[in-house]
Amino acid sequence: DIVMTQSPDSLAVSLGERAAIRCKSSQSLLYSLDRKNYLAWYQQKPGQPPKLVISWASTRQSGVPDRFSGSGSGTDFTLTINSLQPEDVAVYYCQQYYNTPNSFGQGTKLEVK
Amino acid sequence: EVQLVQSGAQVRGPRESLTISCKGSGYSFTDYWIAWVRQMPGKGLEWMGIIYPGDSDTRYSPSFQGQVSISADNSIKTAFLHWGSLKTSDTAMYFCARGLSGTLSPFFLDYWGQGTPVTVFS
């Protein structure tokens, strides 16, 4: 099974500053035939279900602000939030969908400093 | 509008059985996977398993294999998560979510249910 490890576990960033969350997989998520990375990022606010933010490592979902971006390939990925806004406070999870079980990272709690 | 509506909160005792449900609407129910995800109090997301209603292909995480069973009834566009014998450690929020069928594996989860809280009291 693929193990997903996020860092840091928690992060405090000032409003207007940049936040970066890393995700590392125990094996490559890059599929050779389509050259796509099978990685997603989710945002979960308190009392709510998770919300898909990024798929294919870097494709922003419709309606997601462009201050959110995803990067990386293979085993190392980053979710970057530019110019942090109060509504971005949440727990963020990465998930691989390269194979089942489609494991999640342990989550990163993002707070305002 | 795509919606996944889950059944309501449940309270049970240890060793009791339980089935919770997830009803899909606004899309072709048999063309997408339905995953179940556990979130224990104050903890992260755990992928439990997934079913493809189109052919009933079902896959489980090793951590949950034999502990729960996943099924679907296409006639009522509903997926189910069943426990035969609950434990206090099953106390958690359970989410269902939709995944598109992919080449290697079910894809990312694009729509989520509201969650079903399950409490197993000792």
d(C-alpha A69, C-alpha A99), whole Å: 24
d(C-alpha A74, C-alpha A36), whole Å: 9
* % of chain B beyond a pLDDT of 90: 93
Provide the pLDDT for residue A55: 97
pLDDT at A41 over 90: yes
Q: For A40, which of B62, B104, B108 is closest by C-beta distance? A: B108
Q: Mean pLDDT over all residues of chain B?
A: 96
Residues 6+ apart with CB under 8 A from B111: B2, B3, B4, B97, B98
Provide the pLDDT for residue B25: 98
Q: For B104, which of A51, A98, A101 is closest by C-beta distance? A: A98
Q: Does B95 touch chain A (CB under 8 A)?
A: yes
Phi-psi sector, A56: left (phi>0), alpha (psi -120 to 50), beta: left
Provide the pLDDT for residue A85: 98
pLDDT per residue as tens digits for the range B23-72: 999 999 999 999 999 999 999 999 999 999 999 999 999 999 999 999 99
List of chain A residues whose C-beta atoms are within 8 Å of the C-beta of residue B102: 38, 97
